[in-house]
Amino acid sequence: MSVLEKASQLIDALGIAGEPVSLAHVRSVLGTPKSSTHRLLSDLAALGIVRRTDDGRYSLGPRLLYWGEAAADTFDIRAVAEAPMRRLRDALGESVHLYVRDHDTRICIAAVEARHELRPFIQLGRPLPLRAGAAGKLLLAFAEDDIQGAELARAAADGKRLPNAPGADLRDQLASIRRERWATSVGEREEGVSAAASPIVDGRGRVVAALCISAPTARLPESRFSELRPPLEEYAAEVSRLLQLG
């Protein structure tokens, strides 16, 4: 494995952790010796890509904020989706998020938050799993076979880490999502949060993003999913048209 590949894995690991982690944790993810892991972390910290906390743990560094903003500006889909996302938020009163797939993770590239004080928080640019959550499952359903196979294997081993994730039922759910072009979830990635997602397609008919509504399960129980489906599909189709025209 090249140094660049190790650096990429390290950055992904820090992003998925969502909080500062120890050198031992990074070593367990990379499977590398302590000396080379420490050297890589130190090199990335010197560049601002990784930040070392006062207690010796590591997290993503400030330079990634700059890169993230620059990368986000290149997503035409974010620009065309902004107005429809705001109208969808106003129509349904809940948070609207736009996700794209990055290999075997999903990333939120745009958000229009609900005006309720109690609402889910999604960090822009943070890698999230594909196998749990409405948007993740929708993107996974249209991913390549090798990506699906790897996620199905991980789902079978989730156990306590994602206790409400589909697990062994994921294969059947993905088949249903491909047929229905619609995905939902209740508490799969985060306890007490429900979501529904509809695909955004490009001019070749490829699913390139997922438009997602999420809210506390108390406001978005499973019984409301059928109510949300027509407006969510309507706005996803609008974003798809705008993307294809642009």
The model's confidence at residue 28, banded by pLDDT at 50, 70 and 90, is confident
CATH class of the region 3-62: mainly alpha
pLDDT at 70: 62
What is the C-alpha to C-alpha distance for residues 103 and 199, in angstroms, rounded to an integer? 17
- Is the confidence at residue 82, as pLDDT, over 80? yes
Q: What pLDDT score was predicted for residue 164?
A: 65
| pLDDT for 92 beyond 90 | yes
For CATH 1.10.10.10, list the domain ranges present in the chain: 3-62
User: Does the 75-245 domain belong in CATH 3.10.20.30?
Assistant: no
* Highest mean pLDDT: which range of 4-8, 10-14, 185-189: 185-189
Residue 199: pLDDT band (50, 70, 90) is very high
Unique residue bearing structure tokens 């949060």: 193
Name the residue among 240, 210, 80 with its Cα closest to residue 136.
Answer: 210
Q: Could you give the count of Cα atoms lying within 13 Å of 55 in the half-sphere of its Cβ?
A: 6
Locate tokens 């972390």: which residue? 41
Q: Per the confidence metrics, is the pTM higher than 0.75?
A: no
CA distances from 153 to 167, 169, 246 (A): 9, 12, 38
Delimit the CATH 3.30.450.40 region(s) of the chain. Answer: 75-245
Judge contact between 100 and 208, C-beta under 8 A.
yes
What average pLDDT does the segment 117-121 reach? Answer: 86
Determine which of 97-101, 177-181, 185-189, 233-237 has the lowest per-residue pLDDT on average: 185-189
Q: Is the pLDDT of residue 12 over 60?
A: yes
Q: Provide the Cα torsion 121, 122, 127, 129; round to 10°.
A: 70
- Closest by CA to 130, choosing from 140, 120, 121, is 140
**What angle separates helix 76-92 from helix 225-245, to the nearest 10 degrees?**
150
Residue 157 has a pLDDT of 77
Angle value at C-alpha 75, between 69 and 77, nearest 5 degrees: 130
